[in-house]
Amino acid sequence: MITGKNYIGNTLSAEGALVYRTFNPKVNLENPEEFTEATTQEIDRAMTLATEAFKIYKSVSGTKKAKFLNAIADEILDLGEELIQMYCSESGLPEDRAEGERARTIWQLHSFAELLEEGNWVEASIDTAMPDRTPNPKPDLRKMLVPLGPVVVFGASNFPLAYSTAGGDTAAALAAGCPVIVKSHPMHSGTGELVATAVIKAAKKTGMPNGVFSNLNSRGVEVGAQLVKHPQVKAVGFTGSIKGGRALFDLASKRAEPIPVFAEMGSINPVVLLPEALKERGESLAKTYANSVTLGTGQFCTNPGLILGIKGTALNNFIETLSEEILRIEPSCMLHPNIKGAYVRNKESAIQQDGLKVTANYGEEVQVNYAQQVVTTVDGAVFLENQTLHQEVFGPFTMVVQCENIAQLEMLILKLEGQLTGTLIAQEEEAAAYPQIISALQNRVGRLIYNGVPTGVEVCPSMVHGGPYPASTDSRFTAVGVNSIKRWVRPVCFQNWPDQLLPDALKNDNPLNISRLVNNIQTNRKL
Amino acid sequence: MITGKNYIGNTLSAEGALVYRTFNPKVNLENPEEFTEATTQEIDRAMTLATEAFKIYKSVSGTKKAKFLNAIADEILDLGEELIQMYCSESGLPEDRAEGERARTIWQLHSFAELLEEGNWVEASIDTAMPDRTPNPKPDLRKMLVPLGPVVVFGASNFPLAYSTAGGDTAAALAAGCPVIVKSHPMHSGTGELVATAVIKAAKKTGMPNGVFSNLNSRGVEVGAQLVKHPQVKAVGFTGSIKGGRALFDLASKRAEPIPVFAEMGSINPVVLLPEALKERGESLAKTYANSVTLGTGQFCTNPGLILGIKGTALNNFIETLSEEILRIEPSCMLHPNIKGAYVRNKESAIQQDGLKVTANYGEEVQVNYAQQVVTTVDGAVFLENQTLHQEVFGPFTMVVQCENIAQLEMLILKLEGQLTGTLIAQEEEAAAYPQIISALQNRVGRLIYNGVPTGVEVCPSMVHGGPYPASTDSRFTAVGVNSIKRWVRPVCFQNWPDQLLPDALKNDNPLNISRLVNNIQTNRKL
């Protein structure tokens, strides 16, 4: 049952006057539930609760936090069909996607729980004392990672489950020991409330302090801005547009106490087609990419929006096949009329640029809010000179750039902004002949893909989802995979600290049996 | 032989019209050498060279980079007495300090060389493919840390060797694979040039690309500002004042492409005296702290500027002894007349605050540019309400706060800004009775010290030198110890990448024989 209220810690609250509804893009109608935007007072209460909760939660053992995360997973599954239906009605996405994303959300929570149970992630490090060292004795120094404090998480429009309420950012922050205040995404506040209920139930069942989690509704940008400026917030996680992410980054940087904002933002995910591969496999590649460009109505941050090749018959054939194949694909629904509107505007703006040629355009609108996929092509020299063509068109849109030669292709990569991914399509042995292309591509991206598609982000320790700006605001961290926990922690060092007062991770007898760096040797041994 | 020129890569250059000299505070005279400030064109050339050098240097093997760092250490030692004399004449610091700091600089370079030779620091991680997984096959994913690109390092006024030209920031960035452009500190440009010569010699001897290192002179803030705004710079390291660090952070945050700035800034390093310890050891503690407050003329970032105790006879006795003892210490020279001037101004500003009582003041100036040490005391309630008293007075100054009770002491810690260190002075078994004090202190600092002094920063893996803002701009990193390399690197992921094209750290047969996380197990094994 949806109440439309905010969770201020464990308490439902709706003191505000601003109400709004979510929208079902498939049927082009508002959903019936009303949501109440959080007030300044509610934001303050959530922050105060989070700050108080942090005093307790920061020292909760890994085992207990793991139980909490696993309980969240169980409670989300327990929401059953209600969650799937709400997800579909607020996103226009199909049921199998809802189920897949739920599975991923559960997997993420379990992955962090495993990480906590194992315990090595705190990077415990011990340098024992050398009292006889000259000229000065060396003290005993021990270090581990500790949580930063309350974290604000902004739900993503395109991942109502896996990158929203109890998604990757929240799971990572809770695992780190940080209370989380979610700024629920206005496009799927119902899905958000259901998941928030699951988190609150899990927190109560596993004895977590009130305030470890809050969920705030908002229609516009004001609640988010207030949260980022709030002195008690210590870090921010965001997934969305460059404009939105940069605005939050700017607010956070201007604070009296600046705080880290990890924003995962836009990307056009360049794909480089090397000549031999293009010649040998152009047709099958075109089919593969027609699917990748339209997957999820092109609404993935890893959507391939830029395909680079060398001018010639093979590339012409590729463009032709890609254009034919993409028009065979049935158009699908976008997340919201606003997303569809932005897609149409950005597509039109790109198409109007001098030198851009449209080679496929699914002209008719099969249904309101459904996207019409587009393939375009442009000369390398034109692309190099027109920065507008470097901007993301969020949706089923791609641009094939016809380069004069490899030197121009390299130059073009060097001029690109930072990207989440870069893909290299090559025949065996071919790639080794293009070290400068690989080097340039690596320097612009967080993840390199060989003979594949960028869509599809595996959740595992070796994943990097992030990259040089504007792919993300800090390329030193990933938003996906258990290492994303590192965004929300800092090291603290204990000098000559008495054993009984040390955290368990640093005690002499290693009660957690974790791997520690002891005098430069990685070991599980006791001291 | 000092030329007074800039190193633009390997080339000495002095195209500018602005010249300046350094100052010997001990004799109160300018030093004879003239230094030429770098021009915009020289800055551009240094940046272009660094960008080109990065294309090569980012892939130089750990073994070769280690040889480079060790060669820098050798060349610095080779400068012999000339370096020591220049250091002393530009800082007013004594010879033994110069030698100690040189030893630390050498140690840092060797430590990073060892880290590179071992090779584990790249955090190599491999998740092998699962082609038969349903519903989707799992790709092969491999991740490691790679350098960010050219790094700008600002030399510190108070560490002409260990935190300047080839100090911790430079050593860490070069170890990471980032070319370094040093903005030489105007107070010790001669020391800077000597060390820069050593770095350039080492770069040539070990075959490093031209542009891997540049050293730019500047008298004011303009060169530094231009560097931080330069589009080709990818990160910044700074040690100095809050004002200076924050200005650079703001410039970097406003760039079209924001870049990380790691600034290690001010700190008052609170020391908590628990009641039993104060009663039992007040006198010896007062002697210890008289020395710690005046060590290096109070010009360490870890100087104990704030001592917190509970009001009473024991604290009165402590203040009395501390005041007597500190006046027995011979005043010493400050780094520069400007530093002395700032000390006098900040000290006066503090002393004029309502409720602050001066209990020791080395009134007479024993010699020009020598600091007069001061002890002050104030009531807890007064300190809580006056933010001016929370500001650092850089120099031999400390303030003893007399708290009403433990609750007020805790409140006071909660209200402090972020700090590099926090010290707890306690009798055995006493500390366990004050968990809320320890918890509050931990939350405000990067390093906790038990029954010691904050001055003295060990260079080892477990050290944390950094802390919540404004101790540093990003508490997630340390400026001291080999982990400081993490400031200058980002993870990159290779998906289904052919083995022969992978970096050695990620190849199947593990040619570097490093420890890697393979399918969640840390191992040195081949695949």
Cα B2 to Cα A81: distance, rounded to the nearest angstrom:
77
Question: CA-CA distances (angstroms) from residue A343 to A12, A324, A364, A374?
Answer: 36, 21, 15, 11
Q: Is the dihedral of CA B144, A453, A241, A403 positive or negative?
A: positive
Per-residue model confidence (pLDDT) at position A364: 85
Structure confidence by residue, pLDDT tens digits, A67-110: 999 999 999 999 999 999 999 999 999 999 999 999 999 999 99
Interchain proximity B448–A490, CB inside 8 Å: no
Q: Which two tokens stand for residue B317?
A: 């006795």
The CA angle B520-A478-B66, to the nearest 5 degrees, is 75
Closest CB to A493 among B463, B490, B520: B463
Which residues on chain B are in Cβ contact (under 8 Å) with A237? none
DSSP alpha helices (H): ranges in B185-265?
Answer: 189-205, 222-229, 242-254
Is there a catalytic annotation at residue B301? yes
Within its chain, how far is the Cα of B138 from the centroid?
43
- High-pLDDT (> 90) share of chain B, %: 98
Residue A326: CB atoms within 10 A of its CB come to 24
Residue to mutate among B493, B494, B501, B522, with most A CBs inside 10 A, is B493
Question: CA-CA distances (angstroms) from residue B427 to A104, B11, B433?
Answer: 51, 59, 11
pLDDT(A363) > 90 = no
- Average confidence score pLDDT of chain B: 97
Closest CB to A125 among B136, B446, B461: B461
Q: Is B402 helix (H, G, I), strand (E, B) or coil?
A: strand
Which residues on chain A are in Cβ contact (under 8 Å) with B139? 452, 458
Measured in angstroms, the CA of B449 and the nearest CA of chain A are apart by 5
Q: Which two tokens stand for residue B447?
A: 């390093």
pLDDT(A433) > 90 = yes
Which residues on chain A are in Cβ contact (under 8 Å) with B515? 522
Scanning the structure block, which residue is given the tokens 């750290």?
Answer: B505
Per-residue model confidence (pLDDT) at position A266: 84
Interchain proximity B475–A443, CB inside 8 Å: no
Structure confidence by residue, pLDDT tens digits, B337-382: 999 999 999 999 999 999 999 999 998 889 999 999 999 999 999 9
pLDDT(B1) > 90 = no
pLDDT(A1) > 90 = no
pLDDT(B239) > 90 = yes
Cα A14 to Cα A231: distance, rounded to the nearest angstrom:
23
Closest CB to B496 among A127, A141, A451: A451
Cα A39 to Cα A13: distance, rounded to the nearest angstrom:
10
Which residues on chain B are in Cβ contact (under 8 Å) with A450? 494-498, 501
Closest CB to B127 among A59, A257, A460: A460
Structure confidence by residue, pLDDT tens digits, A316-351: 999 999 999 999 999 999 999 999 999 999 999 999
Contact (Cβ atoms closer than 8 angstroms) between residue B177 and residue B146: yes
Q: What is the DSSP string of A294-338?
A: HGGGG-STT---EEEEESSHHHHHHHHHHHHHHHHSPP-B-S-HH
Closest CB to B492 among A260, A448, A473: A448
Q: What is the DSSP string of A126-149?
A: EE--BTT-SSSPBPPEEEEEEE-S
Mean pLDDT value across residues B33-60: 98
Residue to mutate among A107, A291, A483, A493, with most B CBs inside 10 A, is A493
How would you list the strands of the sheet with B180-183, edge to edge? B11-13, B6-8, B213-216, B180-183, B151-154, B235-239, B261-264
Cα B11 to Cα B210: distance, rounded to the nearest angstrom:
9
Closest CB to A431 among B100, B253, B501: B501
Count of helices and strands (H, E) across chain A = 14, 23
- Average confidence score pLDDT of chain A: 97
Residue to mutate among A265, A291, A495, with most B CBs inside 10 A, is A495
Is there a catalytic annotation at residue A403? no
Structure confidence by residue, pLDDT tens digits, A380-419: 999 999 999 999 999 999 999 999 999 999 999 999 999 9
A369 φ/ψ sector (left φ>0, alpha ψ -120 to 50, else beta): left
The catalytically annotated residue of A88, A178, A301, A403 is: A301
Interchain proximity B448–A59, CB inside 8 Å: no
Residue of B nearest to A496 (CA): B450
Residue A263: CB atoms within 10 A of its CB come to 27
The catalytically annotated residue of B88, B178, B301, B333 is: B301
Q: What are chain B's domains? A: 36-265+477-487 (3.40.605.10), 270-450 (3.40.309.10)
Per-residue model confidence (pLDDT) at position A365: 87
pLDDT(A511) > 90 = yes
Interchain proximity B469–A257, CB inside 8 Å: yes
Interchain proximity B522–A515, CB inside 8 Å: yes
Q: Which two tokens stand for residue A286?
A: 């075109």
Angle between the N-to-C axes of helices B222-229 and B242-254, in degrees from 0 to 180, rounded to the nearest 10? 30
Measured in angstroms, the CA of A522 and the nearest CA of chain B are apart by 10
Q: Is B95 helix (H, G, I), strand (E, B) or coil?
A: helix
The catalytically annotated residue of A264, A325, A392, A417 is: A264
pLDDT(B144) > 90 = yes
**pTM for the full model?**
0.97
Mean pLDDT value across residues B469-482: 97
Residue B90: CB atoms within 10 A of its CB come to 25
Residue of A nearest to B146 (CA): A443
Per-residue model confidence (pLDDT) at position A76: 98
Structure confidence by residue, pLDDT tens digits, B407-433: 999 999 999 999 999 999 999 889 999
Residue A385: CB atoms within 10 A of its CB come to 12
Residue to mutate among B476, B478, B522, with most A CBs inside 10 A, is B476
Cα B52 to Cα B73: distance, rounded to the nearest angstrom:
25
Least confident of A97-106, A285-294, A360-369, B203-212: A360-369
Residue of A nearest to B454 (CA): A495
